[in-house]
Amino acid sequence: MNSNLPKTIFITGATSGFGKATAKLFNEKGWQTIITGRRADRLEELAEELGQNSLPLSFDVSDRQSVQTAVKNLPPNFNKISVLCNNAGLALGLEGADNANLDDWDQMIDTNIKGLIYATRTILPLMIDNGEGHIINLGSVAGSYPYPGGNVYGGTKAFVSQFSLNLRADLVGKGINVTSLEPGLAETEFSIVRFKGDREKASQVYKNTKVIKPEDIAETIFWIATRPKN
């Protein structure tokens, strides 16, 4: 690979929160950013802000065919992906397992697990062909530490952690690094989504708490992505 060309990061769930902050930081550092998400209007707005080094791709990460089509049709100047940031994810509801909404459980599994494996399985062969790459998966402390109402969300994040470890085992000697980044309480649109737009309820989650900001996570992702290969 020509070392003079800018490196490229592929970010899922880039329309808000960690993903948006990560796209902005990597763009500022001179990287090309492939930004993806379901909300086309937000993607276009972000792409306009980032400029020509950004490529917006609007699709649902839980739709396998859409993921494969988007990656297959990447323009030549964007298909040398150095970093895949599997950021897309969500939590829905905080009810106990006996009262939870099964549609919410389905959506969390589709996005947090299926979306992650579809993007990984589709992009990983490109990285192996290029002889280098780094997969950074956004997990959560909820994958290791349970709390009431965290049932399926915590289960999906435990999957992220274990999948990352197994990926690392598969990729020994292939020049691909794998990291699972597992933040704690962070103030983004996360809780607004969880409580289906109830901002008052969402605000109570962060009351009297010194929270992590999206920019903090973006800086951590950049640090991880730029470590020496040794």
Angstrom distance (rounded) from CA 3 to CA 186: 35
Whether residue 205 contacts residue 176, with contact meaning beta carbons closer than 8 Å, is answered with no
Active site residue 206: no
145, 147, 153, 206: which is the annotated catalytic residue?
153
Residues 6 or more apart in contact with residue 15 via CB below 8 angstroms: 35, 37, 38, 39, 42, 43, 46
Phi-psi region of 133 (alpha: psi -120 to 50; beta: other; left: phi over 0): left
Angstrom distance (rounded) from CA 205 to CA 197: 14
Long-range contact list for 47-50, CB < 8 A, 24+ apart? 49/24, 50/23, 50/24
Angstrom distance (rounded) from CA 191 to CA 93: 9
Whether residue 34 contacts residue 11, with contact meaning beta carbons closer than 8 Å, is answered with yes
Catalytic site residues? 153
